[in-house]
Structure 1
Amino acid sequence: MISSSSCKVLAERFGFVIAPLTPPHIPDVILCRVQAPTLVNIVGALNSDVTKVSARNLSRWLFLLARHSARARPIRPPAVFRPISVVAGDVFVRFIDKVGLETFPCNSPDPLPPGCYALFDANGDPYPYPFGYTAPRITFSRTHRARDVGDDDPRASYRMTSPVPEELASQARERDRGLCCFTGRPSECITWVIPPLLSRWVTVPYPGWPLERCLSVDNVFTISSDLLGAYHDNRITADPQDGYRIVLFDDFPNTLTHLGSAPSSGRFWHSSLSWTLAVRFPGCDARFDGVSANKARDLLEEFSLGSSHTLPQSSERPNLVAQEAMRTFLWKRLNTQAALAMWESEDAQLSPSHSSTLNSSEGFEIVPDAAELHSDRHQSFIWFFFHKWCILVHYIWTLVCGPRRRALD
């Protein structure tokens, strides 16, 4: 198996950006949605070193993310994940270049290797599935500001950051034996599994739970104080349908793989996982993440009218937009992926992350074959030098033959 450390894929290389609340590490498992005929956009991304995921779990997570849709159904065989290769089109437009032959059944328990994937049915067609967001992209720690009540409301005492009532806290300490459910270390810190005030939004389908139902010992647990902020930011949770396996969206030193003290009911942890996935897992295309495609098109027009072949070094222009404009310019001008790959490798000083990604992805299906790139690059260089040689010959011929012609005249 190829080590994921040698296969990191930076999504920006394809004009995608990972949403701000997705894992801070470079994602190497990327899921794309295929739209007719071959248009793709990113659905989610994660780092396999931090969050191990199998095709079976990913299928179930996608169902959790899509449960808001009336068309959502659990993903079942013969649906398969297949690796795909993505190429550039227009500004922030990406298409499937190749679909890998390897298949990963949607119910496979084996970990997915690093790669870029899409779902397909038994006939090789894109799997019709209503991917999408299911919850506002806010974390538990921001809930008290985003969906809260006034300080004079009696329910204000049930904010996520408010102390858990002592009666519930005592029951949780007794159940958890005074140990953090994530690390197994002694701790006196107790917090909510989900914010009681979020209950009407975090549960699917509607209507949500009443506040009183959330005031339960099943909705509180023991946690180490140094992990409290991470949990409130939805960077750590547990999957009750996978033996309460701990799911990480950040790199934490952790001695446990499963929740230490499983509650009698997993309903709150199920909601915590659903909300965390909605916050942390989805990615999005750059045009949906505050990056203006119009700015890239303006730059593309400048490149087309002028003779610039280098990225502008201006702080007024977002780097991602400038890179996308140059990438699209070369794609339209040369219409060859070899030129794109050559530009990315030659402009390493302008975008070190892109060049390191290209060079470190050896053996990974999402990048072009190294031999093909070398061959195409070699041919491009031959044509380049042949063109320059013709210009030089013409110049020498003009110098030598020009005076003689004037003398004869």
Structure 2
Amino acid sequence: MEVRSTTDRRATRAVTLSHPRSPVTVGGGAPVSVQSMTTTKTADVDGTLQQIYALAAAGADIVRCTCNDADAAAGLARIVPRSPVPLVADIHHNHRMGLAALEAGVACLRLNPGNIRRPEHIKAVASEARDRGVPIRIGVNGGSLDPALYRKYGDEVTPEAMVESAKVEMAHFDEVGFHDVKISVKASSVPLMIDAYRLLSEETDAPLHLGVTEAGPLPGGLVKSTAGIGTLLAEGIGDTIRYSLTADPVEEAKAGRLLLEAMGLRERTNVDLIACPSCGRAEIDVIEVARQAQEAFADREIPLQVAVMGCVVNGPGEARDADLGIAAGNKRGHLFVKGQNIAVVPEDEMVGSLVEWADYIVEHGVEAALERADTAKAAREAEKDRQRLLREQGDDVNASEQRVELIKKQVDH
């Protein structure tokens, strides 16, 4: 079942990151894009390219690389022509590195207003970017605000301070006629990040890059990033996103893509695997079968929702909206498509059969899959196993009704 977002996205102007094969538009109603950042030394051309290709394969539309010295800038000049996606150069402290990255041919710059503060330096980079048609992301970070702004707002980081930092930078850009801007106001505090982006969205129509900076390792970093980014996307705020995890950056790209697919903001590119949490009626190790299925589908571009259910009593009904699923019963698996039983397979062939039928559905469609199957026979076999389970375990396998009665008695006394 494909999910589509019903949220009205905030209207923003568009900026485009150029690329000979895969240009990416951010804002202007374009699909929300996924970003990540390499962790290699940019001077290591082959190592950096290897990571860029891995990130692109994992779902990154845009990749950022650091440009912190002359060797990194030289590396970018060699990397840009071979990259499968647009590259953003991350510039800190030295504005000359921004000019060097532009010469190297990057598709975008990221400038931190807290690190490059002299107006003449900011304008020099913006002027060169304007002449080359290269966008700039104003990357405000709660941990590196201009000290003057920090003092102005009571020696603490506030949403107002972060937004003012972005507006000061935009004013410098305006002076040289540069408007091809994206903005981020990241913080490691989720509530602060959310409030800052909400405020910024009321101040500008520039496209916004969402992220919780320094979110940390898994699983906490995933939770914090999803809480912040997901909240704003649900409000229609945000045009491009990055998970900032203390982990392999491939995990960032995967997480970003999965979030957008789950929220109906991007089309599904791979299997959406759903599985029941298991219960007393389950006749298989649901966690292990789900793990095997996830591994089997990992690198296959199959845009279907696939269900793994622990029993045949409730499984097909609970997952009837899934494109394809399997439910266990009596040492065998009952395959179903859109809630209709289609086949019965041995327990040790369940995952393999899921993959086989998923391939068939992608190639031929759901209707063809149903026509191919002996649905009447499959339904009879599923009902036999269902009735057997009900006879052996009863209707209330988890004894929930007994608990309800006990609770009532305790409350009444």
TM-score, normalized by length of structure 1?
0.27
TM-score, normalized by length of structure 2?
0.27
